[in-house]
Amino acid sequence: MSTPSSAPAASGPVAIIGAGALGTTLARALVANGYAVEAVLSRTAASAEALADRVGAPVADTAYAALPKTVRWVFVCVPDDAIPGVAGALAAVQHPWADTTVAHTSGAVPAQALAPLDAQGAALLGFHPLQTFPEGASPATLSDIVVGLDGDSAAVEAGAAVARRLGARPVRLAAADKARYHAAAALASNGLVALMAAVEAILPLPRTDSAPPPREWVAPLLRQTLHNVLHHGPHGALSGPVARGDEGTIRKHLEVLQDECPDQYPVYTALSAELVRVAVGSGALSEAQGERLAASVRHADDAPEPST
């Protein structure tokens, strides 16, 4: 590994690689906070050109050789599995790599996924905005969030300065913790989406035309629960049949789900088992009650086959 010519700077011209959901939001946020995006390189010309137009980048291309020599920050915003290939292709390009920080934005893989660029002397950084960015997300969704950073100390320090400039809070991660960190993040976001899909699948259809749509039935419950969890933690937000040890009600739930909603049955049992752990941990249930309830929601042998 060659040594960077100096500690990586927190500012400097930027290139975005991968003009997808995050690449677009990040590029727009960087420009809004005073960075110059000099190039957008993407797999397809149309994506690169659309984002370059949007952020006033003079270069839009599909070839990594088009990377301007002036660029000092490269943000690789491609799917996680594509990161090593992109790094390998970039490493073959002549560039003042020793003066350049290359960051990828994956939460699950370490900065070392960019290893081919290490040999060229680039500073490597994992720069993971802990937020969900559907297509079209506003640049404001990058502020007031945590950005998980990993890499060597100088790169992490420079990445922290970039994160702060975007209005975010930098947090240093150990490379070995990233998969676990990202599993938790995925559960917080995608898990909630899956949970809501299960809730909507289980809710009975309204019996009258004038009833609000089922999602609205649960919306206040969802908002209040989120508020309680965020302010008081899972222990402080406990309520419901598991917390009360209401075995009869839980049995009814299991029976109706088994008969009518077999696909959602394992969602209910897995979450209830976790809830039993929370209830025992908070003292709402005794160890003995917890064991009994856990056994009744485990029921692995009775679990229905999910429909195909």
Ligand X SMILES: NC(=O)c1ccc[n+]([C@@H]2O[C@H](COP(=O)([O-])OP(=O)(O)OC[C@H]3O[C@@H](n4cnc5c(N)ncnc54)[C@H](OP(=O)(O)O)[C@@H]3O)[C@@H](O)[C@H]2O)c1
x/- mask, ligand X, residues 198-237, rule CB under 6 A, reads ----------------------------------------
The residues, any chain, with a CB within 8 Å of residue 165's CB and separated by 6 or more, are 10, 33, 34, 35
| Count of residues interacting with ligand X (CB under 6 A) | 23
The 73-76 sheet, strands edge to edge = 59-61, 37-41, 14-17, 73-76, 101-104, 123-129, 146-151, 169-172
Report 239-268 residues binding ligand X (CB under 6 A): none
149 vs 80: CA distance, rounded Å: 16
Determine, following the binding rule CB under 6 A, whether residue 43 of this chain makes contact with ligand X: yes
CB 98 within 8 A of CB 4: yes
Determine, following the binding rule CB under 6 A, whether residue 114 of this chain makes contact with ligand X: no
189 vs 36: CA distance, rounded Å: 31
Determine, following the binding rule CB under 6 A, whether residue 151 of this chain makes contact with ligand X: no
Contact with ligand X (CB under 6 A) among 4, 8, 107, 151: 107
* Closest residue to bound ligand X by CB: 20
C-beta closer to ligand X: residue 109 or 202: 109
Per-residue tokens: 102? 């290359």
Going by their DSSP bridges, the two strands 123-129 and 146-151 should be labelled as: antiparallel
C-beta closer to ligand X: residue 43 or 292: 43
Determine, following the binding rule CB under 6 A, whether residue 42 of this chain makes contact with ligand X: yes
Task: Report the interface residues with ligand X, using CB under 6 A.
Answer: 18-23, 42-44, 47, 77-80, 82, 86, 105-107, 128-129, 132-133
